[in-house]
Structure 1
Amino acid sequence: MLGAGAVLGLLAACSGGGSGAAPRPTSSGDGEIIVASGLDVTGSDGVRQQLIHAWNLTAEGRKHPARLLELPGGADEQRSQLLGALQSGSSQYDVVNLDGTWIPEFAEAGLITPLDPQVKADPDVIPSVAATARWKGHTYALPFNSDVGLLYYRPDYLKAAGFDPDSYPAAGMKWSGLQTMIRQLDTVHAEGALPGYQRGWTSQLAAYEGLTVNTIEAFASAGVHLTDPDGHYTADPAQLKTGLDELRDRAGSEYTLRGALSSYEAQSLSDFTAGRTAFLRHWPYAYRLLPQSLGAGQWAVAPLPGDAVLGGQDLAVSAASPRAAYALELAKFLTDPKSESCLLQAGFAATRDSAYRTPPPACPYVSPPAGSSPSASPSASSGETSTMPRDGQNRPLYASGTLRTALTSAVQRPRTPYYGAFTQALQSVVHGWLADPDPPDTDQVARRLDTALRRALAGR
């Protein structure tokens, strides 16, 4: 926990609140504002909790204090918990931190409150990110923290294979270019170098949302898109075959680490740090974790070849909240420019362009820039020294270039109120196919996937 002086410093640095009128106070009851969220990747008492602390020291926060409630389990389990609570009419949550793909489902079911006209379009929010908070022309949430697929790699392995790690992976490189590099790494490994190396790359291909993300990235890279902006299914078996061929080319055993089909985020990260693979598809939070296991020159990050999927969470106000007016003010505070800058410094992908471009405020719980003190500040989340590479503005070193570029060009997963059914249908067909030692031909799988997605996206 921060001491009183540190929290006051955080308040000065990261507060400011939002502007604009709150909803009419027809739901402005007393009591704590409960924010329901998944686990904070910056750890216990991490940046989200610290921003809640900062709100509680504002004049508004002293009258209407907030509490962060972290839900256990993965994204699918969290979605089920939130759906169950809100569908029952429970008022136990006031603000819900939703994956951007869930907004249409929760909005269509009337579980979250439309925020317009109180929330206006904000040009500072990255356009691709801002779109996750809207559905059918209305704003239902405020983008809190974003996410995007990135390519982490081992420069030491590339150097051993004869590549210049300062030039590769090259900007704009296609997947075929990555495969060329993997084949050369395999050759070097066969000659006795890279003793711990097994296969070229790994990702999260277990039967969960990670597989959906990887599939959409492969499909989008091949020019295949599954829905229109309103969630209507637009693909056909021929297009699906094109996308599946691209996915198979990526996930085939020739290039992919054994075990990837059962890998979640933690396992794939562990395989990378153990040296079993040279390339890893992962999220921005890995940038904060990798220095704990690998030294300088053993890891770096670049944009993914082809298209990368946008992730992230948005803050919505529960339709059952008796404190909706104050809940919206809290959501504005947590997503204002100063708060977003603090999120970026802590390792999240910020949703606002200004966080990447303007001098950031000082956030006491985030380690200072290298060289600004004899040793880095302890992390509030773990008590350990933060070694995440930073620029002179205390932002992650890759943030203003690689991360911002990836966010602005990222593609979205299908926007549909039936996202839960969609992702389960896709995972079921695709994982079974990838895991089959004697798979049917791709045309047959494409027809089966077409039937499954057509039904799921029609709500049947």
Structure 2
Amino acid sequence: MTELYSRRSFLAGALTAGMVSASASYLLTRREEVKLTLVTGADATGGRRLLVQMWNDLSPYIKIETVEINSSTRDQYEKFISSRADIFNLDVIHIPKFAAEKRVVPITPRNDISLLPPVRRLSVREDTGDFWAVPFNTDVGVLYRRIADKSEAGPDPTLAQVMSSSSRGFVGQLDTVGSQTDEAFLVNVLEQALAQDEAILDETGQLSFSLGQWRSALGPLAAAIRGRRVGAEAGEDDTNRTYQRNGLRYMRNWPVYYPAIDRAERTKPTTDEIRLGRLPIGIIGGQSLAVSADSDHRDEAVEAIHFLTDAHAQLLLAKYGFAPTGLDAYIDPVVTETMPHLKVIRNGVESSRPRPMHRDYAAFAETFAGHMHRFLYDGEQLTQQFITDIQGKLR
């Protein structure tokens, strides 16, 4: 089987395909050393760190120093703005706030990568065509399925079918214990609602404010939780552990965990493989690289961002489980041979919906999670106050 983009093949491809050619004269004629600080969330796979190291190997005078903020997505905003940075690796939910507060400057796309439309919409400035941030990797919720027999035929089950099953064979991030896990809970609740009523959240991230729609769309989830027919965990890591420890058939999680889980689960005598299936409509996520408005080295930061987000970078990140942002990686012959599950991820990204893209998203998310947890676990009914509160946070 063909190897999927080793470090050596990446470097060779980057050089021969011109990945650094556009900036080669700029980089190679410099004699003054510049250090760029990249502020980012944690990288559990090592893939993004490897890309940064490759840039440092190829660029003798412009080096990137990575500062990892090991906190939840919700906490990253405060941590990021208190850190001195040249480049921010922003979660998609933070882009509107960073842009509105002028903490980042626009960047003109120059790469040859063909961004998938839902990915592009998260960062582009519709009035100019510039980007507030260049997509680094994307993400979308997927359904994991344990397969005992590879010859098993038939269509993939839908999320609604899985949730209506009488057996406790599913686990997802359907509980929360506070701000660190609220975001995963919110995303899972939205996906469950979309599985029942796709008009709950449209392609631009606009929510329905119809109380009747929310009650109807979330009725099956509430019934499944109260009937203890599903596993509800707080956070992705706890979900993974429950899925593996209990040998469950289904799990909702992000695709970045797939390589490690698939390898581990295949060693079990009762598991032939782990398959990924798309949700009817998943929530899109991901990270994007932005130039800090406070940077003294904006030009150098732009060059580094183009390198880290180009087509060859996407191929290498795919090897580490990250969902590529552009079409090129999904149709690359090596990728289609070695990672056939990326077809499912592409379909999931292309049918995905964004969370409400609003500068006050954090306040909305806290309010939404509070109402939903009381509804699902405390028996508190959804009332017009729920609509009034979330609508107020999104004005």
Cα RMSD after superposing both structures: 2.8
1:205-226, Cα deviation, whole Å (9 max, x unpaired): 2331111101221233312335
Correspondent of 2:145 among 147, 153, 158 = 153
User: 5+ unaligned residues in a row in structure 2: which ranges?
Assistant: 1-5, 24-31, 177-181
Q: For the residues of structure 2 that align with 1:249 and 1:167, how far apart are their CA atoms?
A: 30
Identity of aligned residues (%): 24
Q: For the residues of structure 2 that align with 1:352 and 1:228, how far apart are their CA atoms?
A: 19
Report the CA distance between 1:241 and its aligned residue. Answer: 2.2
1:29-82, Cα deviation, whole Å (9 max, x unpaired): 96311111111131xxx2212211211233xx2221112221112212222211
Instruction: Specify the SS of the correspondent of 1:308.
Output: coil
The structure with the largest alpha-carbon Rg is 1
Correspondent of 1:224 among 186, 190, 199 = 199
Task: Give the structure with the larger helix fraction.
Answer: 2
Q: Is the 8 A contact 2:144 2:252 kept in 1?
A: yes
Report the CA distance between 1:303 and its aligned residue. Answer: 2.4
Report the CA distance between 1:431 and its aligned residue. Answer: 1.3
Give the structure-1-normalised TM-score.
Answer: 0.73
Equivalent residue runs for 1:279-358 within 5 Å: 279-295=250-266, 297-358=271-332
Question: Is the alpha carbon distance of 1:75 and 1:298 closer, same or farther for their aligned partners in structure 2, counting shifts above 3 Å?
Answer: farther
Report the CA distance between 1:7 and its aligned residue. Answer: 6.6
Equivalent residue runs for 1:66-145 within 5 Å: 66-85=64-83, 92-115=84-107, 118-119=108-109, 124-135=114-125, 137=127, 138-145=130-137
Question: Is the alpha carbon distance of 1:327 and 1:121 closer, same or farther for their aligned partners in structure 2, counting shifts above 3 Å?
Answer: closer
1:450 aligns with 2:376: no
1:356-407, Cα deviation, whole Å (9 max, x unpaired): 21245xxxxxxxxxxxxxxxxxxxxxxxxxxxxx864xx43412x2122112
Report the CA distance between 1:323 and its aligned residue. Answer: 0.8
Question: Is the alpha carbon distance of 1:144 and 1:130 closer, same or farther for their aligned partners in structure 2, counting shifts above 3 Å?
Answer: same
1:302-355, Cα deviation, whole Å (9 max, x unpaired): 324421111111111111111111101101100111111111122211111111
Q: For the residues of structure 2 that align with 1:282 and 1:433, how far apart are their CA atoms?
A: 23
Correspondent of 2:341 among 376, 392, 398 = 398
Q: Is the 8 A contact 2:117 2:350 kept in 1?
A: yes
Question: Is the alpha carbon distance of 1:346 and 1:55 closer, same or farther for their aligned partners in structure 2, counting shifts above 3 Å?
Answer: same
Report the CA distance between 1:175 and its aligned residue. Answer: 3.5
Instruction: Specify the SS of the correspondent of 2:199.
Output: coil
Instruction: Specify the SS of the correspondent of 2:362.
Output: helix
Question: Is the alpha carbon distance of 1:136 and 1:251 closer, same or farther for their aligned partners in structure 2, counting shifts above 3 Å?
Answer: farther
Q: 1:166: which partner in 2?
A: 152
Q: 1:51: which partner in 2?
A: 51
Question: Is the alpha carbon distance of 1:202 and 1:253 closer, same or farther for their aligned partners in structure 2, counting shifts above 3 Å?
Answer: farther
Question: Is the alpha carbon distance of 1:95 and 1:175 closer, same or farther for their aligned partners in structure 2, counting shifts above 3 Å?
Answer: same
Q: Is the 8 A contact 2:62 2:300 kept in 1?
A: yes
Task: Please tell me the residue identity of whatever aligns with 1:41.
Answer: A
Task: Please tell me the residue identity of whatever aligns with 1:32.
Answer: K
Question: Is the alpha carbon distance of 1:109 and 1:228 closer, same or farther for their aligned partners in structure 2, counting shifts above 3 Å?
Answer: farther
Task: Please tell me the residue identity of whatever aligns with 1:223.
Answer: E
Give the structure-2-normalised TM-score.
Answer: 0.84
Q: For the residues of structure 2 that align with 1:134 and 1:286, how far apart are their CA atoms?
A: 28
Q: 2:169: which partner in 1?
A: 200
User: 5+ unaligned residues in a row in structure 1: which ranges?
Assistant: 1-5, 22-28, 86-91, 187-198, 361-389
Task: Please tell me the residue identity of whatever aligns with 1:322.
Answer: D
Report the CA distance between 1:98 and its aligned residue. Answer: 0.7
Q: Is the 8 A contact 1:17 1:330 kept in 2?
A: no
Paired residues in the alignment total 370
